[in-house]
Homo-oligomer: A and B are copies of this chain.
Amino acid sequence: MYGVQFMNDDALDRTSGHVYIAVSLDGFVARSDRTIDWLTKQETEGEEHGYAAFVESMDGIVMGRGSFETVLGFGGNWPYQKPVVVMSGTLTAGDVPDELIGRVRLSDLDPVEQMRALRREGWRRAYVDGGGLVQAFVRLGLIEDFVLTTIPILIGDGIRLFGELDGDLDLELLGVTPYPSGLVQSHYRVRRE
């Protein structure tokens, strides 16, 4: 499911963007204060949701400032083995902890330019993470597919996964997997006519 190679990967002059994210049934990726207690409380022991395989199939990770600060806030070890690009116009080199130098870099390029630059570096596929960044990348046509893990809960408010668009975006359903915990993982590819 996660190893699918898309026809247009090689034809693109940019790195393709891929989303793997958990979302409440009412469409939120985090509460307004960025907390995800509603997600971490789910009892999913013994379930394999394919996250490691997904990340392994990527050349690197592109995230927004909010996601970066959230991950740093968790403390503990940096969870990513792949190179990470943090898209931010406000962070500066001093905001990257010493131990992450060489593994995390900041970029203030616009998203299209960033994805072109990564392609020139040899990245074919990037994991695009974080609600705000995903919305921007979707609007710019930079996302090829979504692996959504829908959590069986309504939280009522928070940071939305999807945002406003300039027009409809038709999707192709590639697969759906329900889990005993009640999580449902669905995989959609963006249709390009």
A6-14, A54-62, A120-128, A155-163 - interface stretch: A155-163
**Alpha-carbon distance between A150 and B148 when the two chains are bound, in angstroms:** 13
Count chain A residues whose beta carbon lies closer than 8 angstroms to a beta carbon of B.
33
Instruction: Select the stretch in A63-71, A74-82, A108-116, A181-189 that faces chain B.
Output: A181-189
Q: Which chain A residues in 159-193 approach chain B with CB under 8 Å? A: 161-173, 175-176, 178, 182-184, 186, 188
Stoichiometry (number of copies): 2
Interface string of A129-171 (1 = CB under 8 A from B): 0000000001000000000001011111100011111111111
A184 and B178 contact, CB distance less than 8 A: no
A149–chain B nearest beta-carbon distance, Å: 12
> Which of B173, B178, B188 has a CB less than 8 Å from the CB of A173?
B178
Contacts of A38 in B (CB 8 A): 168
CB-CB under 8 A for A186 and B184, given A156-B164, A171-B154: yes
Query: Contacts of A154 on B, CB cut-off 8 Å?
Result: 138, 162, 165, 168-169, 171
Q: Does A176 contact B168, Cβ atoms closer than 8 Å?
A: no
Shortest CB-to-CB span from A95 to chain B, Å, is: 32
Q: Which of B156, B168, B186 contacts A168 (CB 8 A)?
A: B156
Alpha-carbon distance between A166 and B156 when the two chains are bound, in angstroms: 8
